[in-house]
Amino acid sequence: MPVMNIIQAVNDALRIEMERDDRVVVMGEDVGKFGGVFRATQGLYEKFGEDRVFDTPLSEAGIVGTAIGMALYGLRPVPEIQFADFIYPAFDQIVSELAKYRYRSGGQYSCPLVIRAPYGGGIKGGHYHSQSPEAYFIHTPGLKVVIPSNPYDAKGLLISAIRDEDPVLFFEPKRIYRASKGEVPEGDYATPLEKAALVCEGEHCTVIAYGAMLHTAREAVALAAEEGIRCDLLDLRTLLPFDVEAILESVKKTGRAVVVHEAPRTCGFGAELSATIHERALLHLEAPVLRITGFDTPFPYTLEHDYLPDAQRVLSGIRKTVKF
Amino acid sequence: MPVMNIIQAVNDALRIEMERDDRVVVMGEDVGKFGGVFRATQGLYEKFGEDRVFDTPLSEAGIVGTAIGMALYGLRPVPEIQFADFIYPAFDQIVSELAKYRYRSGGQYSCPLVIRAPYGGGIKGGHYHSQSPEAYFIHTPGLKVVIPSNPYDAKGLLISAIRDEDPVLFFEPKRIYRASKGEVPEGDYATPLEKAALVCEGEHCTVIAYGAMLHTAREAVALAAEEGIRCDLLDLRTLLPFDVEAILESVKKTGRAVVVHEAPRTCGFGAELSATIHERALLHLEAPVLRITGFDTPFPYTLEHDYLPDAQRVLSGIRKTVKF
Amino acid sequence: MKAATVVEENLVRVLGDGGRVEKDKDPGLSDDDLLTLYRTMLLTRLLDERMVKFQRQGRIGFYIGSTGEEAAIVGAAFAMGREDWLVPSYRELGAAFLRGFSLREFICQLFGNAEDLIKGRQMPIHYASSRFRVLSISSPVGTQIPHAVGIAMAARIRKTREVVLVFLGEGATSEGDFHTSMNFAGVFKTPCVFVCRNNQWAISVPRDKQTASESIAIKARAYGFEGVQVDGNDVLAVYATTKEAFQKARRGGGPTFIEAFSYRLGAHSTSDDPRVYRSENEVLDWMKRDPLVRFRQYLEKKKLWDKERDEKLTHDLNHDILATLKEVEKIGPPPDQSLFEDVFGTMPWHLREQRDELLQWLKEKGDKLENN
Amino acid sequence: MKAATVVEENLVRVLGDGGRVEKDKDPGLSDDDLLTLYRTMLLTRLLDERMVKFQRQGRIGFYIGSTGEEAAIVGAAFAMGREDWLVPSYRELGAAFLRGFSLREFICQLFGNAEDLIKGRQMPIHYASSRFRVLSISSPVGTQIPHAVGIAMAARIRKTREVVLVFLGEGATSEGDFHTSMNFAGVFKTPCVFVCRNNQWAISVPRDKQTASESIAIKARAYGFEGVQVDGNDVLAVYATTKEAFQKARRGGGPTFIEAFSYRLGAHSTSDDPRVYRSENEVLDWMKRDPLVRFRQYLEKKKLWDKERDEKLTHDLNHDILATLKEVEKIGPPPDQSLFEDVFGTMPWHLREQRDELLQWLKEKGDKLENN
Ligand SMILES: Cc1ncc(C[n+]2csc(CCOP(=O)(O)OP(=O)(O)O)c2C)c(N)n1
Ligand SMILES: Cc1ncc(C[n+]2csc(CCOP(=O)(O)OP(=O)(O)O)c2C)c(N)n1
Ligand SMILES: [Mg+2]
Ligand SMILES: [Mg+2]
């Protein structure tokens, strides 16, 4: 099996889906001849031509808005937003239109499309090249939200997302775009949406993470193991609808949970996970669910290392939870 | 003391602040001569003239974006968004600019302005005249979020919001714009932000609500009292920063909490309240914090009565929590 | 507050005073076609009258009419072929009727009942019909425009002959979505025809406070394609201009922007009272240019129409409306569990749970009511 | 992929070939002023060279230069008065320097260190200076434009003489914020001057794929005010045109839109490699129109400048840059707890808690490191 990084896996998934289904088109700023500022669409323009891989004018609202039209028509657009931080000009089209189109037309229309966007910090990107906006979309009925943490999943989940009947926000962990490498099968395979992966097992505590933070959490779990604390580590992969069964099964076993994400804490996805776990497993819990997250500040530049959860911080959360 | 409804109280607050401070300007769609589609700005155009009360072209991004400029200049704009559902075209300006301006300029600039918008369901407004978007803004560092539930608070909180040094999202419960009436002092008074109000007291359960749902919750609390279940009822008023002390004090007393809001459940503000309470008061809890909320669907039309929490539903939540 | 700016000399016009017509510009429609146009315009006019009353009586929740703008709406949509796509704002019922959307389907939507094609999900007037390629109406102003351009981009990619007709108000030209859509249309040379109903008002905001541009049509130049200003109260002029734009689009000539210069004679919607913000005189002035009257005079001059036929058609249409209303009023609401359908194609666990939660609550409530 | 479209005959130009000048258009600046212009242009040019190297060495994280566009930037900003407001995009360092922003302040920002005016909060190049009325730079393209219009609206409301100068790229004209800002500016007749640096590229997307309009300047007509296309590599033409626009604005004549026709000679930023998307020949062609060279020829012809003086100034500026860098590199980062400041004017409870949480963690970490 070839070894790929996440960018290559994303590129491979796009190529495979475009070969399989001529309704799939790729669009966005700099995705054509240039191949994307992160190179995720490299080679597609040459292979599939400018009708199916094209640069757009500089307008995220236009990218998503016209992609909606294409999906209504019957195509399967895969628009790229250059950075997740720049998705907000398209927020109205996503929240008011994309998310609601099937529902408000009584199921007469649907908008199967995948918005790809690199998200997250750790690349010294400051305010606007670092954000993790997943909670906004998880809170919006009608959208699915997927975040892979490794090349294998990146490819398999992106293929599933493109084949899905509904709109998917597909956020890619740009911090580990190249650093995360692994074996990726050639050709076509689909990793099912809505299923978490149990990355490692242990009986003392459940650690829940996704995307780039999965790696931070894994480091922390390894450190905890050195101290004799053994953890279940769940990689959520699909954030909405999230895999409540996998979560509850693990938490009922361990009686403890730590949730990790980069986004600001207040009203972040960790709040939902915490609420859900407490609601459904209170009597199994030995400690409150703990959130290790980004702080409630805009994403900083110089103090990025203070802002982002690191393994030590997750470890200290695990310790605190286990000692509670 | 005169009796006012919420619209009149808002109008009174605007008038008083405009009289007191000539930097305060009111802007938005149809707010000028017409006095606003809900009449909240009625009479202001005549009193303060078209320089300080003006209609804008039909662009929410333009309204908020230029209001930011005015605030940077030193004015105190109070832009109106005609319905909270139409705030999304301005989402980028709010989230990327308004919320971050003080922080990213190292405190050199600030944006004191108040965005007013009627929110919430119950008026047969369907998808786009019913939404409760508070969670998006609570999750965005740099914004304050305020929702009054009665005329007295509407006036006092709006006055405080206009005097605040930071941007405030001020969502008004349009369902009870006219139905909620009460005595409102004439002239100038400020209700402090960041403080909840304890509406009634009881030892069995804490019910937390805000805006229009406060009234639903109050009804439910009254019904519960008939069954011998006595509740603390907290009107949050400011959602960010919320009054964690008042919440914890009550929950530690009752050992139980029910949170009520109209917005969709997943990743709604109820999730944050639930997570916060569990994190800080787990050992005091006799039952998991329960969320009674809108469902995770777009806001419907015909089945609005099914969607919106009513007193029966809140009551059944209180019962369930108390019996847990 | 002056509402109407117009570069009069550029206005495309076919129908003159008293039913006269500029011969060389007459699009030469068949008698049947002419009568279809008139019938559709009259139908929406009568619906407007009836539904405003109905709303006042509390029998429907809300209504938006098109009185005064029928020519712009019906004239433009008449240029469409079966394979084309209609992307309405919220004031183009006549266009939907021309596509085949039925009165009954429309009225079911007003009631949001169990037979409503959109399952009672949206306010009155927010219909959708995939069968007739009528997109789903959305309240937010301007959000439909990029969808139209996207469909046209798709048609170009798939190399079909489909053309998209999108409607918007002059107020909508202020939104970012208008700009971005027009720009994409220009860059990708999409087969898309924009018809902007400049009815001089966006609720209480007059045209001159909406934009300082000399006309609305000129905005198209910022995107590198043609903008035309047409007399929006002249159904033949609107039809001819739109037809030409469609032909150009089908030839691969790209988009056209049409400003239909007209006037909203009624209130913005049943929630509005225009007397607060505009003068009765302005309205009376525009009533003189009523597009229905102008067209009827033309038909009469052509001997296709007379008072008697008009009275009979009015009577028949009113009868249809009332009969349909009567029938439709009996239909119940959609079932409670339908609240959770169509959020996704397949219902995920959390919505299944919430559905069961609701049904359980409703059962409790029902039991309680029974016990009382 | 053709990048440059221009309606050549309309291009405002003052500097001809070989330092010649169109006499009647010469704005007649004093010798001091001319040298200030040149000095500022040269300073940013030298900084570009130095900082790209610095970034490659990993000593700063990121850089964006303005090589090739100095005339458009410095020429426009030179029209400003003390009381005016500068609203930059991210490529107008020369303009900030003219406002009084110092080299040291700038370099502290590049490092995001403890003396950085914005406390290390943003990436390099995202400076702000309230003292000099330079707004805070933001990465999202186009978001600054409505702020400029808002400030101008405020100035009009307060009846002052302030004028706002806002910069944007031609790519930014595609965003909704551009549209809405231009429209507000037209409707409210705000004292705002828009300078659009049309440098032919938005990262890899050429001007012709950005918009189909015949020029960028013509877009102003959609908003009812004047759009002018000026040779952006001609510092005197840019200055003269902007000065006129400022005078008009101060007279109450409203906004002006200026398209400065130019070219980005360097990469988009240090993250970019333009060889992937554009030809070397195109770049070489534009190098012949280097705005610094053109202006120097003029100064030489005027006997204000010569090779010797140029070498000395280059040497001095380079020395300043290096000396400042050396000094500034020693300054440490802002304190950890500053992470939580300025989110709000007064720190609320949850941020105080989170601050304490961080400091506690850092202490734990430090203790651990000490123990190891
Ligand atoms: C994004 C958004 N903002 C505000 C509104 C409220 N609103 C509904 S219609 C309307 C005026 C629309 O004017 P125009 O585009 O001219 O269309 P017309 O109603 O005149 O046909 C406004 C402001 C809305 N529906 N959507
Ligand atoms: C909203 C948004 N979308 C995308 C980007 C990524 N991006 C940064 S600069 C740029 C191109 C800008 O081009 P232009 O406006 O012509 O300015 P120039 O860089 O040429 O000076 C893009 C696409 C961004 N910063 N913000
Ligand atoms: Mg209108
Ligand atoms: Mg450019």
Tokens for C26, please give them.
């007459």
Closest Cβ–Cβ partner in D180, D211, D222 for C187: D211
Rounded average pLDDT per 10-residue block, chain A, 324 residues: 97 98 98 97 98 98 98 98 98 98 98 98 97 98 98 98 98 98 97 98 98 98 98 98 98 98 98 98 98 98 98 97 97
Q: Is the pLDDT of residue B112 over 60?
A: yes
pLDDT of residue C4: 44
- Which residues in B102-126 are b (16+ Cβ under 10 Å) and which e? bbbbbbbbbbbbbbbbbbbbbbbbb
Q: Closest partner residue to B297 among A141, A240, A278, by Cβ?
A: A141
Q: Is C194 on the interface with D (CB under 8 A)?
A: no
**Maximal C-alpha separation, chain A:** 59
Atom of ligand 1 nearest to the CA of C142: 1
Distance CA D109, CA D112 (A): 5
C356 touching chain B per CB within 8 A: no
For residue A182, what pLDDT is reported?
A: 97
Residue linked to tokens 């300082």: C212
Quote the CA–CA distance of A108 and C311 in Å, as a whole number.
38
Where do runs of H (alpha helix) occur along chain D? 31-56, 70-77, 93-99, 103-111, 144-157, 176-188, 207-210, 235-250, 280-287, 291-301, 307-329, 349-371
Can you read off the two tokens belonging to residue A80? 């790229």
C214 lies within 8 A of chain D by CB:
yes
The catalytic site residues of B sit at: 129
Which residues from chain C sit within 8 angstroms of residue D224, using beta carbons? Answer: 211-214
Among A124, A258, D173, B201, smallest CA distance to C182 is for D173
Q: What is the pLDDT of residues B152-206, one digit of tens each?
A: 999 999 999 999 999 999 999 999 999 999 999 999 999 999 999 999 999 999 9
**Best of A27, A41, A54, A59 to disrupt the D interface by mutation (most D CBs within 10 Å)?**
A59
Examine the pLDDT at B93 and tell me if it is beyond 90: yes
Nearest neighbour of D117 by CB, restricted to B100, B102, B106:
B106
Largest CA distance in chain D: 77
DSSP characters over C49-85: HHHHHHHHTTSSS-----TT-HHHHHHHHTT--TT-E
The answer, yes or no, to whether any atom of ligand 1 lies below 6 A from the CB of C360, is no
Instruction: Enter the pTM of the model.
Output: 0.98
- C-alpha distance from A18 to closest chain B C-alpha (Å): 32
Q: What does the alpha-carbon distance between residue A201 and residue B262 come to, in Å, rounded to a whole number? A: 39
D140 CA distance to ligand 1 middle (Å): 27
Contact (Cβ atoms closer than 8 angstroms) between residue D103 and residue D323: no
CA of C171 to the centre of ligand 1 (A): 6
> Which DSSP string corresponds to C141-191?
TTTHHHHHHHHHHHHHHTT----EEEEEETGGGGSHHHHHHHHHHHHHT-S
For residue B125, the distance in angstroms to the closest alpha carbon of chain D comes to 27
Interface membership of A97 toward B (CB under 8 Å): no
CA separation for the pair C150, A65 (Å, rounded): 7
CA-nearest residue of chain D to C183?
D211
Could you give the CA distance from residue D116 to residue D331 in angstroms, rounded to a whole number? 10
How far apart are the CA of C153 and the nearest CA of chain D, in angstroms? 15
Among C180, C211, C221, beta carbon nearest to D213: C221
Show which of residues 141-200 on chain D sit within 8 Å of chain A, judged by CB atoms.
Answer: 141-142, 171-172, 174-177
| Mean residue pLDDT across chain D | 95
pLDDT bracket for residue D1 (50, 70, 90): very low
B-chain residues near C277 (CB < 8 A): 33-34
Q: What one-character DSSP code corresponds to residue C21?
A: B
Element (H, E) at A154: helix A151-163
CB contact at 8 A, A68 and A97: yes
SS3 of B251-315: the string is HHHHCCEEEEEEEECCCCHHHHHHHHHHHHHHHHCCCCCEEEEECCCCCCCCCHHHHCCCHHHHH
Average pLDDT over residues D16-32: 90
Q: What are the φ and ψ backbone dihedral angles of D296, each rounded to 5 degrees?
A: -65, -40
Q: Output the CA–CA distances (angstroms, integers) from residue B53 to A112, B41, C209, D189, in the order listed.
A: 44, 9, 14, 16
- The DSSP bridge pattern shows strands D205-206 and D201-202 to be antiparallel
Question: Does C219 touch chain D if contact means CB atoms closer than 8 Å?
Answer: yes
Tokens 């913005």 label which residue? Answer: C268
d(CA D154, CA D158): 6
Residue C1 has a pLDDT of 35
Spatial contact of B102 and B166, defined as CB atoms under 8 Å apart: yes
Q: How much of chain D is in helix, strand and coil states, percent to nearest 5?
A: 50, 10, 40
**Confidence (pLDDT) at D8:** 54
The answer to whether the beta carbons of residues C197 and C232 sit under 8 Å apart is yes
Tell if the CB–CB gap between A57 and C149 is shorter than 8 Å: no
Between CA A216 and CA A311 the distance in angstroms is 5
Q: pLDDT per position in chain C (372 positions), as tens? A: 344 444 555 799 999 888 888 888 999 999 999 999 999 999 999 999 999 999 999 999 999 999 999 999 999 999 999 999 999 999 999 999 999 999 999 999 999 999 999 999 999 999 999 999 999 999 999 999 999 999 999 999 999 999 999 999 999 999 999 999 999 999 999 999 999 999 999 999 999 999 999 999 999 999 999 999 999 999 999 999 999 999 999 999 999 999 999 999 999 999 999 999 999 999 999 999 999 999 999 999 999 999 999 999 999 999 999 999 999 999 999 999 999 999 999 999 999 999 999 999 999 888 877 766
**Radius of gyration over alpha carbons of chain A, in Å?**
19
In this structure, the dihedral spanned by the alpha carbons of residues A13, A17, A19 and A21, taken in order and rounded to 10 degrees, is 180
Q: What Cα–Cα distance (Å) separates residue C317 from each residue in B183, C42, C107, C320?
A: 53, 8, 14, 5
Task: Quote the pLDDT of residue C23.
Answer: 85
> Quick check: D2 pLDDT over 80?
no
Please give the full DSSP string across A180-212, using - where no structure is assigned.
-EEE--SS---PPTT--EEEE--SSEEEEE-TT
Check pLDDT > 50 for residue D148.
Answer: yes
Give the Cα separation of C318 and C312 in Å (integer): 10
Crossing angle of the two packed helices D70-77 and D235-250, in degrees rounded to 10:
30
Residue B89 phi, psi (nearest 5): -60, -20
Could you tell me which of B74, B73, B81, B93 has the C-alpha nearest to residue B26?
B81
Number of inter-chain CB pairs under 8 A, B vs C: 122
User: How far is the centre of ligand 3, averaged over its atoms, from the C-alpha of D123 (Å)?
Assistant: 44
HSE at residue D174, side-chain half, CA atoms within 13 A, is: 31
Using an 8 Å Cβ cutoff, are B227 and B177 in contact?
no
Region D352-361: what's the mean pLDDT? 97
Q: Which of residues 69-98 of C touch B (CB under 8 A)?
A: none
Which residues are within 8 A (CB) of B264 and not within 5 positions of it... i.e. 6 or more apart? A139, A140, A141, B293, B294, B295, B296, B297
Would you tell me how many other CB atoms lie within 10 Å of the CB of residue D320? 15
Separation between Cα atoms, residue D60 and residue A132, nearest integer Å: 24
Structure tokens at A105: 């037309």
pLDDT per residue as tens digits for the range D201-232 = 999 999 999 999 999 999 999 999 999 999 99
Q: What is the pLDDT of residue C8?
A: 54
- Other CB atoms within 10 A of residue D58 CB: 7
**Inter-chain CB proximity C361 and B313 less than 8 Å:** yes
Residue B85 has pLDDT above 60, yes or no: yes
Peptide bond into A241 cis (omega under 30): yes
For residue A11, how many other CB atoms are within 10 A of its CB? Answer: 24
D250 is catalytic: no
Interface test with D, best of B94, B105, B145 (most D CBs within 10 A): B105
Mean pLDDT, rounded, for B291-300: 98
Q: Rounded CA gap, D35 and D317, in Å?
A: 14
Q: B15 pLDDT exceeds 50? A: yes
**Contact list, D219 vs chain C (CB under 8 Å):** 222
For β-strands A205-209 and A257-264, DSSP reports them as parallel
